[in-house]
Amino acid sequence: MQNINIGIIGAAGYTGGELLRIVINHPHLKVAFAHSKSQVGKPVYSTHTDLLGDTDLVFSGEDIQKLLNQEDLQAIFLCSGHGESKKFLTEYSLPETVKVIDLSTDFRDESNGFTYGLPELQKEKIKQATKIANPGCFATSIELAILPLAKAGLLKEDVHVSAVTGSTGAGQALSATTHFSWRNNNLSIYKAFTHQHLTEIKMSLRKLQAGFEKAVHFVPYRGDFTRGIMANVYTPFSGTLEEANELYKSYYSEHPFTHISEAPIDLKQVVNTNKCLIHLEVHDGQLLISSIIDNLTKGASGQAVQNLNLAFGLPEDAGLRLKAPSF
């Protein structure tokens, strides 16, 4: 199978680094360029030190339009900050033959011809898409926790979510809440009930359960670890645990990365992988759904490659059979 040539805009950040790690080991992808405004001319491994010995790529800094006009370019990933993708697509002319996967929040409302890229929600639409908006990391873990209920029309009351994320979810730029001396041995909440991912979560639920207007009460936590998200979700449920497990296993039966575990789950099972693991419990008429992902892989770069695989007719799991460091 011929290699697909891809470019990365914003390749020096966390998501750019994860994309490079996956793509250079992908059997059908080749990096045409890795662009960075801040690291022009430097070896990729000088920033992403885990790639030393794996690639001799150098960060591109030349005219972006020239890079986009390469005859063999077939897809680009946009890994710059939120708001930058809209500016990028306004400033530069992109050939119609080049597919776009955007990792920012800019087009998750499916504006400007973008398709919301959660394969477990709309895989067939992604296969036909030329512009894909990658979901947010919290949104991915929470949506995967409750999509089967929405599909069955079982979201009858409010949904309550408590979720914790690693420090890489805040990006590479230093801040008061990301440096080691504050984050280590610490825990805090932020954007309680107002987190920006609520908008796409509700949009996705309405795709499966039209007219869903109940509240999603979301309290996010900053964890004192680097990678991973655990979301614990509960909502009223009148069935048994056996019925819940069957509902979830049936919904995800054709999705290679989301699995139902009947044993309790922990973050180390998914870190460095494109998996989502889900564990269900029923307590006094409440269904408790625990959902875990790696925020940088299934929550960002891994899912972006999963979407590219679908859009180009490749095996959905190509380049994404990654092992977790579970010990």
Tens digit of each residue's pLDDT (9 = 90 or more) over 197-255: 999 999 999 999 999 999 999 999 999 999 999 999 999 999 999 999 999 999 999 99
Among 55, 62, 69, CA closest to 41: 62
pLDDT at 84 over 70: yes
**Are the CB atoms for 231 and 144 separated by under 8 Å?**
no
Residues across the chain: 327
* 160: β partners: 217, 234
- Annotation marks residue 79 as catalytic: no
- Please give the mean pLDDT across all residues of the chain: 95
- pLDDT band with cut points at 50, 70 and 90 for residue 273: very high
- pLDDT tens, position by position, 13-23: 999 999 999 99
pLDDT at 1 over 80: no
pLDDT at 107 over 90: yes
Q: Which residues contact 321 (CB under 8 A, 6 or more apart)?
A: none
- Number of helical H runs and strand E runs in the chain: 10, 13
Sheet hosting strand 188-189, strand order edge to edge: 188-189, 216-222, 159-165, 229-236, 286-293, 276-283, 258-260
The answer, as to whether pTM is greater than 0.85, is: yes
Residue 205: its pLDDT value, please? 98
Give the range among 41-50, 131-140, 163-172, 192-201 with minimum mean pLDDT.
163-172
Selecting among 129, 137, 149, 163, the annotated active-site residue is 137
Among 52, 48, 125, CA closest to 79: 48
Q: Which residues contact 16 (CB under 8 A, 6 or more apart)?
A: 8, 10, 34, 36, 77, 79, 301
Distances in Å between the Cα of 55 and the Cα atoms of 13, 45, 166 are 17, 7, 27
Distance CA 276, CA 252 (A): 11
* 278: β partners: 260, 291
